[in-house]
Structure 1
Amino acid sequence: MSRLLSSSLLAIAAAFALTACNEEAKDTHPDQLVSKRRAIFKQFTRTLEPMGLVARDRKDYNPREFNISALELEKLSKQPWAYFTPDGNYPPTHAKAEVWQKPAEFKAAQDQYQGTVSQLVKAAESGDLERIRPAVNEVQKSCKTCHNQFRDDTGS
């Protein structure tokens, strides 16, 4: 019985140790820059994903709802960049050093993204799904391009 208890305690301890290793560093910056920009990026995703479903015919198209989402995404598209300050490169960021080393390129990626979102808003206002589909794809492509260049997905 004690051997079983000992094995169980060892397994529990190992599970806690693995969990602790996977736990991401806390945002300890006084201004919580990483936390603020992450919250906005998560809202990007929550806003854009349903529009992607509409564009791929996996969700019914509601023109009013879609237009509201496009306008919300446009508003969000201007927000996270202020939190990429010179002192904003600290754990637990996933931003690559290139954000700070290549500010002109990072700004160009922001502008590209905002431009694709503006085109999506225009497409949404038209109510024409044949215009909306490629506009959604361009926004998603812009996200991916920026992530590839400026986001470290390895978790470091």
Structure 2
Amino acid sequence: MPAVLRAVLILSVTLLAACGEPEDTRPGQPVKQRQQAFKDIIKSFEPMGVMLRKGSYDAERFEKFTAELVAKRDLPWSHFGPDTNYPPTKATAEVWSQPEAFAKEKQGFLIATDKLQAAVAGKDKGQISAAYETVHDSCKSCHKQFKAR
């Protein structure tokens, strides 16, 4: 590869890397902490949806993922402090301007995960599937208003 082409390629890659998401450099990194907490929730929640959608439901694994989800569900919320609306946040300004509505969405998620946990304990796959969808819908509802696209 000619030196000029190699230099252009290296410069292009460097510039693209520089265009990435800004880093959270604030003390305690609250934005990074809440983003990681939501990613951890997804790591437990998404495999359950895959099982239900693909017809590969495994009650024992589903119960394990549900327990993980419930254990992780409270982690992001404390990182939505009054001074945490800055890049790299994906939260909309409505999180802070409409705190009652945001709290209501959070409470809906917590209630939905409680119902999922109860359905899993009851071992009725139909109820489990419906409860999973309720949790999914609560996530979508909150994202619609409080997460930037």
So what's the TM-score if we normalise by structure 2? Answer: 0.92
Please list the CA deviations of residues 71-114 of structure 1 after superposition, one character each: whole Å capped at 9, or x if unmatched: 22122222211110111112111111100000000000000111
So what's the TM-score if we normalise by structure 1? Answer: 0.88
8 Å CA contact retained: 1:52, 1:136:
yes
> 1-side partners of 2:108 and 2:99: how far apart?
14
SS in 2 for 1:122: helix
**Count of residue pairs brought into register by the alignment:** 149
Match of 2:94 among 95, 98, 115: 98
8 Å CA contact retained: 1:48, 1:73:
yes
- Offset at residue 59 of structure 1 (A): 5.5
Partner residue of 2:147? 151
Q: Percent identity?
A: 36
Partner residue of 2:122? 126
Q: Relative to structure 2, which stretch is displaced further, 31-40 or 65-74?
A: 65-74
Partner residue of 1:43? 40
> 2-side partners of 1:43 and 1:11: how far apart?
35
Match of 1:138 among 131, 134, 140: 134
Q: Relative to structure 2, which stretch is displaced further, 70-79 or 125-134?
A: 70-79
Partner residue of 2:26? 29
SS in 1 for 2:85: coil
Which one has the largest radius of gyration?
1
Report the residue type matching 1:18 in the other structure: L
1:67 corresponds to 2:63: yes
Partner residue of 1:6? 4
Gaps of 5+ in 2: none
Q: Relative to structure 2, which stretch is displaced further, 64-73 or 127-136?
A: 64-73
> 1-side partners of 2:45 and 2:9: how far apart?
41
- Offset at residue 69 of structure 1 (A): 1.6
Q: Once superposed, what is the RMSD of the aligned Cα atoms?
A: 1.6
SS in 2 for 1:118: helix
Gaps of 5+ in 1: none
8 Å CA contact retained: 1:34, 1:88:
yes
User: 4+ residue stretches of structure 1 with deviation over 3 A?
Assistant: none
Q: What does residue range 73-112 of structure 1 map to in structure 2 within 5 Å?
A: 73-112=69-108
Partner residue of 2:17? 19
- Offset at residue 17 of structure 1 (A): 1.1
> 2-side partners of 1:11 and 1:80: how far apart?
39
